[in-house]
Chain A
Amino acid sequence: MCTQKQLTCPSLWVHARALHMAVFLIASVLVSPALFAAGNGELNIRDAHAWHDNDGWFLDAQYDIRLSSGAQEALENGVPLVFELRAQIVKTHKWFWDVVEFERTQRRQLQYHALSRSYLVKDIASGSQGVYSQLDDALFAVGLIDALHLTDATLDSKRQYVVRLRGSHDIESLPTPVRLLAYVSSEWDMNSQWYTWPLAR
């Protein structure tokens, strides 16, 4: 699902984080510590570039995904994984909070197809699909962003803007029973740091 909207502050995001934190606090008391011990997954933004033409601003990026053993096991047992890339154009202020001017999210689903022994990568918004016999190829395809349309609006030339990217694994898309474990286990903590660079015009 792709969304394009104007946000004055990241309130929804804060609420979601607070909810995640609350769930984590409760569940961490209940869940066995052994769950934390497995190999961790990783998600890093390798490269990103924003460019514009007459149609507006676009983004090319590549993020690397390394699945944890638990996530890989889940994938191979038929559990689909959804990865999300959040891209923001932020207006910076010297004496004030930064304001998110535009935000775009791209979600891709990775699923194992047992019959063909292949991995399916599907863009949830467009429905386009790719089939890969190798997991690495599938992960590469998931992380490859090619000309993602950020906005067709014209940016104020007098203001400073930065682009922020963050890739993450969407725990909420996991089957319900796994979700709680995913919140409290570092195995499922596949989120990148914010990748930020000034927007060059």
Chain B
Amino acid sequence: MAAGTVKRIGFGMIPMLGLFVLLLLSLYFMSDATHNSERFGRMYSIMLGINALGLVLLGALVVANIISLVRQHRQKAVGARMTSRLVIMFVILSVVPVLVVYYFSLQSIQRGIDSWFDVRIERGLDDALDLSRAALDVRLNEVLNLALRMADEISDAAPTTVPLTLYDLRIRTGAAELSLIGADGRIIASSSAELSQIMPNQPPGEILLLLQNRQHYIGLDPVVEGGLYARALVPVLSARADGEVFTLQALYEVSERISTLADGVQRAYTHYNELAYLRKPLKFSYSLTLSIVLMLSLLAAIWAAFHSARRLVAPVRDLAEATRAVAEGDYSKRLSVASDDELGFLVRSFNDMTRRLTKSRDHANQSKREVEGQRAYLEAVLASLSSGVISLGRDSVIRAINRRASESLGVDLKECLGQDLSKLADEHAFLQPFVDVITRRRGDEDASWREEVILHGTHGRLVLMCRGTALQTSGRRGGGMVVVFDDITALIQAQRDAAWGEVARRLAHEIKNPLTPIQLSAERLRHRCMNRMEPEDAEILDRATRTIVNQVEAMKQMVNAFSEYARVPQVNLETMDLHEVVREVLDLYRGDGSAVHVSAQLDAEESIMEGDAGRIRQLLHNLIKNALEAVKDVDDAQVLVATRNEYQADLNLLALCVSDNGPGFDAGVLENVFEPYVSTKPKGSGLGLAIVKKIVEEHGGYISAETAEGGGARVIVRFMLPGKTISGDNKPA
């Protein structure tokens, strides 16, 4: 900015100062010339022209400044209003005193010039001139008388002696020149005291005209080098016969003293008269000079006002623009310190501020980069975790989700980042239990918790082991929560399979193997002993051994059922039509003459699914058998097998419902109805529904049981229809 200031001064002030000095000098010369000074008198017009040109230049400069300011106002440029105010203030401050001085100066000039003139002086000069004339008139009369006398003498002289007579008369009377002029104006003879003057002084034609009437002339002749001559012309009557009239011209020098005095009076009179005549133009010239000074001062003051205002406003404008730049995020703006005043202090402070802001921004950027790095590292760690992680903020907003969480839940949770936890359940309905558990646990006092959550999601039943830890901020709770969860569905299944496999193995080894010897032993005992016993004893033995054999047979069936349950599933999933399988199975139950009315209501429009038809048949058999057993004692017993398509959130489900009008499930059993050994029937093994559930899980579906409002049990199996999504148009209401 220092360079800029120098530039501004260099290209703005110096030419202006030069112009101003030039105009002032010109004004001085012009003022001097007005005094009629010989020095500058001839330059007056040039000075006036220079001043006029200077005024025009200054005026143009001021007008250009005004136009520029008006344009800045229209463009609402920074600093325009401040410049205007300063200019107006400066102009008022400078113009008012200048105008006052101008007014009084003008008055002084007018009165001062008027005071030079006095009527008494004027009259005195007039009198002096008259006195001079009167004094000269005496001398003129003497000359005239002399001339008349000489004319008489010449008229008596012979023509040939006229030159000599003239010479003689001139010497005698002390004349400067004597000439004899003919009627036609020719000089006939002449005698002059000036030897160098060959040509005699020719009288003006008007005088000769006057003399044609034989009148005489007497007058004063001022001469170039100063001094006065008395010129007398008188007629000379010729003595010749033709009577030609000549004219004698006599020139007499007025005495030096009188001449000097008269010349002095003449000069003073002329000068005073000229001055009096010049009074009005002089006033005008002075007023003009003063007006030019005024205009020059005013325009220079206005220009100086513009210049000063601009210089004052420049740092403020720079500051304003720089502040705007800072507001827009450009911290690189630095202003040059132009002065050591308050503005300079302000500029320095601004520079300090921007420097610190830059440092802070750099620091913040570095911190941000570090945080980003840490965040990326954390995300990498989270992504590499085998557990799902969801981090919640204090306001239940999801802050972080790792990839495993999305994979575990089977939905893309990234979209839910930054949203409230409840949104998770809104968008994915099957996550409601998960959300409920977290919401409930957030209200607990425990800092850490652990809970198993079962979800029925897109890929079937999900068992999640959730572990939550409240985040602590500055040693206090309430800073949010981290929920880590693992999909333990497969683990549980494997544990259960292993457990029931062990049961089956035990049953095979510990129970099933002794059963055949027991049965055989009982039959042998009966065969050997019954014929030898008394009829009464034989009947008891027969009943006892039959009971043993029957019970052993029942135990064998039970062990086989367990074996079947524990069997490692070998499901062959193929495309099959559920309705076809249902119809096949129901046909078996319709024609057996049973009192139970078995009906089908196959409403599903999409019944093609991926499944193992054999296992589905077994599932249906088990469910229908259960239902038939449940309605065994019921009048008008009915069993209904129904299908339909269901749509839950983004799931497309095929639901199979087997219901009856029996007593329904007991409330205490309902929760564990699908567990082994849970049965409401007196003779049930408790494995029917457990196997059904196992088959359903093998197909990736899920099962539920409920008691209908009007009584009767209802078991609903839902299979996924993978790859099917629901468009808004065919989504059921």
Contacts and interface: CB of A to CB of B under 8 A. Distances in A.
A178 interface: yes
Contacts of B288: 27, 30, 180
Contacts of B33: 176
B281 interface: yes
B284 A23 contact: no
Interface stretch (A6-14, A49-57, A127-135, A189-197): A127-135
Q: Across chains A and B, which 9 residue pairs bring their CB atoms closest together, nearest first? A: A77-B277, A78-B270, A177-B281, A78-B274, A116-B220, A26-B52, A115-B266, A177-B285, A177-B282
24 contacts: A22-B52, A23-B49, A27-B48, A30-B288, A31-B284, A73-B277, A74-B277, A78-B270, A78-B273, A78-B274, A116-B219, A116-B228, A127-B224, A131-B221, A133-B206, A134-B206, A175-B36, A175-B274, A175-B278, A176-B33, A176-B36, A177-B284, A180-B284, A181-B281
Given A22-B53, A115-B136, A175-B278, 6 more contacts: A26-B55, A77-B273, A115-B132, A115-B222, A115-B228, A132-B204
B16 interface: no
A122 B224 contact: yes
Contacts of A78: 269-271, 273-274, 277
B178 interface: no
Interface of B: 33-34, 36, 41-42, 44-46, 48-49, 52-53, 55, 129, 132-133, 136, 204-206, 219-224, 228, 262-263, 265-266, 269-271, 273-274, 276-278, 281-282, 284-285, 288, 291
Interface residues of A, number: 40
B396 to A, nearest CB: 86
A133 B205 CA distance: 11
A156 to B, nearest CB: 38
Nearest to A130: B204
B273 A115 contact: no
A114 B263 CA distance: 10
Interface in A132-146: 132-134, 137
B139 to A, nearest CB: 13
A130 B203 CA distance: 9
Contacts of B132: 115
A66 interface: no
Contacts of A31: 284
B266 A137 contact: no
A77 B45 CA distance: 23
A27 B284 CA distance: 11
B278 A116 contact: no
B45 A133 contact: no
A127 B266 CA distance: 20
A128 B220 CA distance: 17
B266 A114 contact: yes
Contacts of A26: 48, 52, 55
Given A137-B204, A176-B34, A23 B52 contact: yes
A125 interface: no
A170 to B, nearest CB: 12
A176 B42 CA distance: 8
B248 to A, nearest CB: 19
Contacts of B274: 77-79, 175
A179 B46 CA distance: 12
A112 B263 CA distance: 13
Interface in A27-68: 27, 30-31
A113 B291 CA distance: 36
A173 to B, nearest CB: 9
A118 interface: yes
Contacts of A19: 45-46, 49
Contacts of A79: 274, 277-278
B690 to A, nearest CB: 121
Contacts of A115: 129, 132-133, 136, 220, 222, 228, 262-263, 265-266, 269
B223 A176 contact: no
Nearest to A35: B284
Contacts of B52: 22-23, 25-26
Contacts of B277: 73-74, 77-79
Contacts of A30: 288, 291
Contacts of A181: 281, 284
A89 interface: no
Contact of B269 (A114, A134, A176, A183): A114
**A25, A74, A113, A176: which has the most chain B beta carbons within 10 Å?**
A176
Contacts of B262: 115
Nearest to B272: A78
A139 B371 CA distance: 109
A181 B42 CA distance: 16
**A20, A73, A114: which has the most chain B beta carbons within 10 Å?**
A114
Contacts of A133: 204, 206, 219
A137 B206 contact: yes
A172 interface: yes
B230 to A, nearest CB: 10
Contacts of B269: 78, 114-115
A32 to B, nearest CB: 9
Interface in A84-111: none
Contacts of B282: 177
Nearest to B263: A115
A178 B221 CA distance: 29
B278 A177 contact: yes
A180 B285 contact: yes
Contact of A118 (B49, B222, B276, B285): B222
A120 interface: yes
Contacts of A112: 270
Contacts of B276: 77
Contacts of A176: 33-34, 36, 41, 44, 285
A122 B45 CA distance: 25
Contacts of B278: 79, 175, 177-178
B42 A116 contact: no
A3 B273 CA distance: 33
A181 B223 CA distance: 32
Contact of B273 (A23, A114, A179): A114
Interface in A148-201: 172, 175-181, 183
Contacts of B204: 130-133, 137
A132 B34 contact: no
